[in-house]
Amino acid sequence: MNIALYGFMGAGKTSLGKALATKLNYLFVDLDAEITKKTNKSINDIFKEKGEIAFRKIEHEVLKEFIKKNDTNVVLSLGGGSILQPTNRKLLELRAYKNIFIDVEINTLIKRLKNDRAHRPLLKNIADNEFDNYIKALYTSRKFSYDNYAEIKISVENESFDATLQKLYLYLNAN
């Protein structure tokens, strides 16, 4: 089985993905980390030097290269925008990835991201007084697609990391 975790920035895809991979004894791969490894640049620097459109092309190429390797038993953590690109969804389909949407309550996302945005190019230049509305608008613009592409949706409410992990694990066993 191959598993792709996606969802908004700050949803905890990387931490959950790592823990899930350990629990399943799968390979864990973080797409942003792969991009950084391949380009030798941070995501911030890629956005700054080349812009978002170029970043999306690189993101696609790195995903394609990884998918071509045909690994199985992978937990892949995607960047928040990756699943929105149809060409990326096609690649995931090729290896029958189960697309799992990690959905976190918007106010929790806002709280988390406010304190953790320096490495996030889409957020780091947003003024404090516009931040909440910016996140709400971006989240809302993506929500329909996020819901639509989910084979499994995990809603994270007021619960511990371990509880979410367990929920994810149980859903996977049941589906």
> What does the per-residue mask of binding to ligand S3P show for 10-49, with x meaning CB under 6 A?
---x------------------x----------x------
Least distance in Å: CB of 118 to ligand S3P?
Answer: 12
Q: Residue 53 class from Cβ within 10 Å (0-12 exposed, 13-18 middle, 19+ buried)?
A: exposed
For the CB of residue 149, give the shortest distance to ligand S3P in the complex, in Å.
14
Which residues fall within 8 angstroms of residue 130, CB to CB, at 6 or more apart?
Answer: none
Candidate segments 16-24, 64-72, 77-85, 93-101, binder of ligand S3P by CB under 6 A: 77-85
Distances (CA, A) of 25 to 136, 141, 168, 171: 36, 35, 15, 17
Cβ 2 vs Cβ 98: under 8 Å: yes
Length of the chain: 175
- Which of 3, 29, 79, 154 touches ligand S3P by CB under 6 A? 79
Q: How far is the CB of 116 from ligand S3P (least distance, A)?
A: 9
Stretch touching ligand S3P by CB under 6 A, among 18-26, 89-97, 119-127, 143-151: 119-127
Q: Strand 97-104 vs strand 74-77: parallel, antiparallel, or unpaired?
A: unpaired
CA distance 167 to 67: 27
Q: How far is the CB of 113 from ligand S3P (least distance, A)?
A: 9
Residues in contact with ligand S3P by CB under 6 A are 9, 13, 32, 43, 79-81, 120-122
